[in-house]
Structure 1
Amino acid sequence: MSFADGSLAGRRVTVRVPGTTANLGPGFDTLGLALAIYDELTVAVRDEPGAFVEVDGVGAGEVPTDETNLVVRAIAHTFAAYGQELPGLHLTAKNVIPHGRGLGSSGAAIVSGVMAAKGLLEGIVEIDPLGLLARATELEGHPDNVAPALFGGLTIAWVTPEGPQFKKLIVHRGVSPLVLVPEETMSTALARSLQPESVPHADAIFNVSRSTLLIAALIQSPELLLAATEDKLHQSYRASAMPETDRLIQALRAEGFPAVVSGAGPSILVLCSDPGQRLAAADLVAARTATPWRSLVLAVDFKGATVITHPDEVE
């Protein structure tokens, strides 16, 4: 079914997507965690062709406001994947997730678009969870951020010949994330370019053991988080591009705080085992740096992305 008959006229959806932190130390390109910080998006079908985007908050005046906007491209990609014609769109975005700091802002934008498409196509095309993950991964390139943004909680993501797959796990209630956000940004492409083509066999084994331990620590035994967040695959190679991040992570870990680079950085994720440890970590950073770092005391998001349709507006 196409939209030549005007079946989308009057449709409007509201999407809410959490920020995410990927890798979590040793789980490079595999593990991701959804955080309770959200971008919200409203998409309405309009009579005029093309797309018009209004942005409030993070990225206002910076991100494109036409068809080149990443959210619009994600909507268009999803419509095309299911053989549907894209209508004219009016998007209103309220952005809170910091851009370029390792908190999954691009993944959230992509997931916002995929979920908006799902809502707009309700009753015409049904998109299941693996379909959502596949469409988002096609745009993002890897599923470690888009999986937790879509499904919430702690996710393990992997790719098969049939497409990306995921497993969602519920995080132990004692796990208390703290994200430390600097003023400067980091390009994910630059961070990835610093990775070597291969790593020593011993380092690969080290990360297999730590990533396995990390799953146990996050879902059952938070007291193991310091040992479980050790990594030899990516953080040391990227340290030269974000020296202040690396210095603070070393200082935090030396005092017993499970600190790692959040995603591609330069933000720092501290996976504390209780709220008191989280406040002590924030105090340490405030005392050890002269540059501004914003402390985000966040819960784990367990719900993931949501979409609300407004059927009363459908003709």
Structure 2
Amino acid sequence: MSVVSGVTVTVPATTANLGPGFDCIGAALTLYNEFKFIRLEESGMIIHVTGVEAERVQTDESNLLYQAFLKLYQYIEQTPPSVKMEIRLGVPLARGLGSSATAIVGGLVGANQLAGAPLSQSQVMELAIAMEGHPDNVVPALLGGCRLAATSDTGWEICEVPWYGDIVPVVAIPDFELSTSKARRVLPTEVSRADAIFNTAHLGLLLRGLETGKGEWLRTALQDKLHQPYRKALIPGYDAVNIAAVAAGAYGMVISGAGPTLLALADTTQSQAVEMAMLTAWQEAGITANVRSLSLDTQGASSFHEG
């Protein structure tokens, strides 16, 4: 078997939860991080980062991409090669768009390719979920599309969720951060039976709404009682942006992942108006935001190698 000298892995951003699908559903978006792995003849590890917020990424052994790279080699019980990693960032950090998931998936896929692909995609996925702790971001980052994940007796069952072609995800990314750990600390440890039933019903309706594009279903389905009522207080201007998005024609608005990015779903004919409304609402609250319409990424992590 020929030795692979270099691998480039591209991984999409993700939006998790989509309202009622807390910790179990996520979708890949057309925003990307790129990771290049180059074997070094001399011993050592080098990390070079470019792109948005590059100066904030750790370049020592604590780097999450490198940790994932090592994890795969530990799993296959091989000594990891010396490597140079070039990171090109397109996904903003700590904004609820799965930046950590891109690093985990990128590191595992890159290591697997350099090692000659000893692991299947499902094995890589299991490692990614174990590292992240939940499947909602890493699964669509690896596989693409919108995915629902459920535990089974033997591991995970992954279901592709059909996404109606005219549904546009509009992301409003503010210029402040919200850590996942902080967003989790505000959540209650127990919920009422009524709230559990509410979310079960709304997740079922969400799946049908995404498949059919039926606006009445989506407007109801995006509601949630497990995490968003508690987290929205951590996001200044949330209510104003929500009101503006819906008034401009969005089916509804949710917190993307742990936030603070806000995600609206809109029809293709309304997406530009929704963009402008969300941007203006946050500007009026004194917050600068990058608002853009994206598409569903259907490919997931992709790689090509040299040698």
TM-score interval, smaller chain: over 0.9
Partners in 2 of 1:195 and 1:29 — Cα distance?
Answer: 13
Structure 2 equivalent of residue 104 of structure 1: 98
1:305: how far off? Answer: 0.4
Kindly state the Cα deviation for residue 165 of structure 1 after the two structures are TM-superposed: 3.2
The 1:49–1:138 alpha-carbon spacing in structure 2 relative to 1, beyond 3 Å, is farther
Q: Distance in 2 between matches of 1:199 and 1:247?
A: 27
Gaps of 5+ in 2: none
Partner residue in 2 for 1:233: 226
Q: TM-score, normalised by structure 1?
A: 0.91
Which consecutive segments of 4 or more residues in structure 1 shift more than 6 A?
Answer: none
Tell me the TM-score normalised to structure 2 length: 0.93
CA RMSD of aligned residues (A): 1.7
**What CA distance in whole angstroms lies between the structure 2 residues aligned with 1:120 and 1:151?**
19
State the partner residue of 1:293: 289
Question: What is the aligned length?
Answer: 302
Q: 1:38 aligns with which of 32, 35, 41?
A: 32
Equivalent residues in 2 for 1:153-302 (5 A)? 153-223=145-215, 224-253=217-246, 257=250, 258-272=252-266, 274-289=267-282, 290=284, 291-302=287-298
Structure 1 CA distance for aligned equivalents of residues 214 and 24 of structure 2: 20
Q: How many angstroms apart in 2 are the aligned matches of 1:243 and 1:288?
A: 11
Cα distance, 1:242 vs structure 2: 1.4
Q: 1:64 aligns with which of 58, 66, 76?
A: 58
Partner Cα distance (2:248, 2:191) in 1? 28
Once the two structures are superposed, what CA deviation does each residue of 1:185-218 show, in whole Å capped at 9, x if it has no partner?
A: 1000000111101111111111111111111111
Which segment is superposed worse, 19-28 or 224-233? 224-233
Task: Tell me the SS of whatever aligns to 1:94.
Answer: strand
CA deviations 1:271-301 (Å, max 9, x no partner) are 11x2221111112223323221211211110
Contact in 2 for aligned 1:148/1:154 (Cα 8 Å): yes
Which of 112, 116, 121 pairs up with 2:115? 121
**Counterparts of 2:27 and 2:158 in 1: how far apart (Å)?**
12
Please say if residues 170 and 264 of structure 2, whose CA atoms lie closer than 8 Å, have aligned partners that are also in contact: yes
> Counterpart in 2 of 1:51?
45
- Secondary structure of the 1:28 match is coil
Q: Secondary structure at the match of 1:243?
A: coil
Amino acid at match of 2:38: A
Query: Does the residue aligned with 1:218 lie in a helix, a strand or coil?
Result: helix
